[in-house]
Structure 1
Amino acid sequence: MTTTAATPAAVPAEGRPRRTGWYPLRVSRTEPVGDRATAITLDLPDRLAETFAHRPGQHVLVRSHQAGRELRRSYSVCLPPGERRGLRLVVKYLGPGGFAEYATTALAVGDLLEVSPPTGHFTLVEEAGAHHVLIGGGSGVTPLLSIAAAALRADPGCRVSLVCANRSARSVLLADELSDLKDAHVGRFSVLHVLSREARESDLLSGRIDGARLPALLALLGVEPGDRAQYYLCGPLGLVELARDSLERWGADPARVRFELFSTTGASASASAAPGPARQPPPAGRTGGVLVSARLDGRTSTVELRPEDRVVLDALLRVRPETPYSCRDGLCGSCRARVLLGAVTMDRQYALDAAELAAGYTLACRAGPASDRIDLDFDA
């Protein structure tokens, strides 16, 4: 999962909930919410209510140990629209061998999962009377549902429109909750389901979303380029790239477009992970001896990179095992930090936009050393 076009979070103040750490939470309920998808409700003790307080659209890291392996993944917090407190995650089976397989086939009420506190910047923009336009595919609907419910609840003058792309009606996640939210806000919440492998009553709603179809869908929802709507894109890379590029050509203000990725599925052969400089090999003689200092949850630690360390995250985990990360592929953005001193290089990454890179942010899972000393701030 990755997010861009967001405002950096403030440095945690003394006494505020930590960004990191693992908390064992017990599964209190599981229920199917779509084809091979399960909603997992976790029991949240009162003493952890503040720690797991979240903004609509944020996600948590989840880990479990199975057969000697650590399974780790990030998931959006997705409460039922009428609820404001608690912790529910929606997990879709993606294939054998990962956390999703365990969660959708073996996880049971009473089991424990280790969960890290909410993080992320893909959240509701508070703008009175705004038109919030959501475009999602597959599991991307989970943060969008939270954002939609929060916007409708907080601002009686706003409108929310959702374009939801899936293969078939059976594969739509949280379909009943979307329908209930629509019924509760008639005239303010509109939903268009576009199915790529199932014929619908309208040709516009049948097939894959492309550059020609998206503007027509927006027009059907009453969205015009000059409306200054707030746009939220979430799903696989292919859909997000297409929607982002189409919106820019259509005339939407890029500064009002936010996106979050759940996977690189659907990327075009020519698609480039961006923006960011290509990673270069470490300079000669700098395979070790580089000092990395990292501030995390108000505490600073220093470690020396070893020749076998591929990226700075490898070194940091030796001294700060709670350093946040999930995908290790520049996708989820969990290991986002600001470079205060020194320099790093990165190869492909999807989590940071041009403004964040210009402000000195990097991803520890993709950052290689480009100086003898590197100071990072995970609290920035």
Structure 2
Amino acid sequence: MAAPRFHELEIAAVRNETPDAVAITFAIPEDSRDTFAFLPGQYLTLRADIDGEDMRRSYSICSPLNETGHRTVGVKRIEDGRFSSFAQTLKKGDRIQVMPPQGRFTAQIGGDHDYLLLAAGSGITPCLSIAKSVLAGEPNSTVTLLYANRNSSSVMFRDDLNDLKDRYTTRFTLLHVMDEEVQDVEIMNGRLDAEKLESLAGLGVIDPKSADAIYICGPEPMIRSASTAMAALGVDEDRIKFELFTPAPGAKPAPAPKPKAAKGANGASHGAAVEIILDGARRTIEVDASTDTVLTAATRAGLDLPYSCAGGMCCTCRCKIVEGSATMDENFSLEPWEIEAGFTLSCQARPDTDRLVLDFDAQ
């Protein structure tokens, strides 16, 4: 399978959600609808030239599956965020480079499920897609959404959420948690942290142990805290789903296991010849592991490798080691079985051997 590539899409609509967040809807041409097919919870990577710099950012799709001709993402401006600030200026008719949907934070539609969604801030975007798709596609399923914000004015997609609440009165439960605005129900005030979740479970407001899956999306500290709380409440690890795009400053993952060396590895540390297989073509570049990852060296050499976050979180730059060996600086996204099978992240990979062959077409 070919590596993902960018497509130029036209913006069909831009809607203000809050004073610092917009919903951007892309028109999907009929001949590209298979390319942009998605699972609820996946994201789009947007690309733009901003002040002469090629920048890419990933934003989760908030569209339901039955929205065939459009894909909508929510973008919240972050402090000093050049791309998120640029996104606030986009308007209907503008065109922008968009990579087809990717991501593993997904819900399969079909059957009967009881889902618990925990979202904070712009983390609502994938959860909204999951909620809409499950409620529309599974007539016997239920969804409980616990959504944390500073105050009412910072709630994204309020109208969409209220519409779901009105349409699915017996199957959708919406609970708001506010930490800068006092609500009538005391337990719903404060931060959405482990203590809050344990209290809500203890009062029977949420029932994590009965959920078929728990989807968590928000800032990295909230994800870590909520995941820990769910595990402490007895939820099996395989039912807790989350995805990281922006870890907290200074956050470090568990040490990345070294991928299993393929035949031909000889133990050299840097100054490697790295052969890239991409879209069936081969090109060799030089990579000094003491100064560069494969991605930074490839970019300098003029190779347009697939990538998005460049921080070891999104898996867009995943590739397979065919020959040689490499070690990752960090790994927030590859599963142990993928590392054992020889996959690595080019944005984090540094060659261990004089020769390294990476296949970006391998799945």
TM-score interval for Structure 1 and Structure 2 normalised by the shorter chain: 0.7 to 0.9
Cα pair 1:141 1:234 within 8 Å, conserved: yes
Q: For 1:25 and 1:255, how far apart are their aligned partners in 2?
A: 36
Q: Please name the residue that 1:177 is paired with.
A: 160
Partner Cα separation in structure 1 for residue 294 and residue 183 of structure 2: 50
Distance 2:323 2:37 in 1: 32
Mapping of 1:138-157 within 5 angstroms?
138-157=121-140
Write the distance in 2 (CA, Å) between the matches of 1:325 and 1:306: 18
196-205 vs 343-352, greater mean Cα deviation: 343-352
Structure 1 position 332, deviation (Å): 2.5
Q: Tell me whether 1:120 sits opposite 2:103 in the alignment.
A: yes
Give TM-score, length-normalised by structure 2: 0.88
**Using the alignment, how far apart are the partners of 1:184 and 1:275 within structure 2?**
46
Deviations 1:29-62 (A, max 9, x none): 1111123101111222212222112111111111
Closer/same/farther in 2, CA of residues 264 and 376 from structure 1, 3 Å limit: same
- Structure 1 contact 275–350 (Cα < 8 Å) conserved: no
List alignment gaps of at least 5 residues for structure 2.
260-265
Superposed CA deviations along residues 209-266 of structure 1, whole A, max 9, x for unmatched, are 22221133345444152x252111111110111111111111101011111124223x
Name the SS for the 1:139 alignment partner.
helix
Asked if 1:331 corresponds to 2:331, the answer is: no
Give the Cα–Cα distance (whole angstroms) in 1 for the partners of residues 206 and 217 of structure 2.
21
Whether the 8 Å contact between 2:114 and 2:213 is mirrored in structure 1 is yes
Paired residues for 1:255-294 under 5 Å: 255-265=238-248, 272-274=252-254, 276-277=256-257, 286-294=269-277
- For the Cα contact (< 8 Å) 1:234–1:262, is it kept in 2? no
1:320 deviates by 7.7
Pick aligned residue for 1:304 from 272, 280, 285: 285
Mapped to 1, the partners of 2:116 and 2:3 lie a distance apart of 29
Counterpart among 83, 90, 96 of residue 99 in structure 1: 83
CA deviations over 1:6-37 (Å, ceiling 9, x no partner): xxxxxx3xxxxx55222221222111112310
Answer yes or no: is the 8 Å Cα contact 2:63–2:71 preserved in 1: yes
Number of equivalent positions: 354
How many Å apart are 1:352 and its aligned residue? 2.6
* CA contact 1:19–1:118 (8 Å) conserved in 2: no
Aligned to 1:217: 200
1:278 Cα deviation from its structure 2 partner: 8.5
- Give the corresponding residue for 1:206: 189
- 1:311 Cα deviation from its structure 2 partner: 0.7
Q: How does 1:222-237 map to 2 (within 5 A)?
A: 222-225=206-209, 227=210, 229-237=212-220
Q: Is the CA contact (8 Å cut-off) linking 2:244 and 2:314 kept in structure 1?
A: yes
- Give the structure-1-normalised TM-score: 0.84
- Give the AA of the match of 1:151: V
Cα distance in structure 1, aligned partners of 2:45 and 2:10: 15
Correspondence 1:249 to 2:229: no
RMSD in angstroms over aligned alpha carbons? Answer: 2.6
Quote the Cα distance in structure 1 between the aligned partners of 2:105 and 2:155: 21
User: Cα 1:221–1:151, aligned 2, differ >3 Å: closer, same or farther?
Assistant: farther
Q: Which of 178, 182, 191 is the matching residue for 1:195?
A: 178
Rounded Cα–Cα distance in structure 2 between residues aligned with 1:97 and 1:135? 24
CA distance in 1 between counterparts of 2:238 and 2:98 reads 32
Q: 1:116 to 1:254 in 2, by over 3 A?
A: same
Runs (5+) with no aligned partner, structure 1: 1-11, 13-17
The answer on whether the counterparts of 1:19 and 1:116 sit within 8 Å (CA) in structure 2 is no
Q: 1:27 to 1:331 in 2, by over 3 A?
A: same
- 1:21, 1:322 within 8 Å by CA — same for their partners in 2? no
Q: Alignment identity in percent?
A: 34
Q: Give, in whole Å, the separation in 2 of the partners of 1:318 and 1:93.
A: 30
Q: Does the aligned pair in 2 maintain the 1:309–1:315 contact within 8 Å?
A: no
Q: Contact 2:213–2:240 at 8 Å: present in 1 too?
A: yes
Give the letter aligned to residue 212 of structure 1.
E
CA contact (8 A) 1:144 1:234 kept: yes
* Residues 1:221 and 1:154: Cα distance change in structure 2 (over 3 Å): farther
Shift of 1:365: 0.6
SS of alignment partner, residue 110 of structure 1: coil
Work out whether residues 235 and 262 of structure 1, in 8 Å CA contact, stay in contact via their aligned partners in 2. no
Distance 1:135 1:312 in 2: 36
* Corresponding position of 1:345: 327
Question: What is the alpha-carbon distance in structure 2 between the residues aligned to residue 145 and residue 204 of structure 1?
Answer: 23
- CA–CA separation in structure 1 for the residues paired with 2:255 and 2:159: 37
- CA 1:197 to 1:121, structure 2 compared with 1: closer, same or farther past 3 Å? same
Between the aligned partners of 1:238 and 1:312, the Cα distance in structure 2 is 29
Work out the CA distance in 2 between the residues paired with 1:179 and 1:240: 25
Aligned to 1:22: 6
What is the alpha-carbon distance in structure 1 between the residues aligned to residue 63 and residue 324 of structure 2? Answer: 41
Contact 1:277-1:347 within 8 A present in 2 as well? no
Following the alignment from structure 2 to structure 1, what is the Cα–Cα distance between the partners of residues 189 and 131? 24
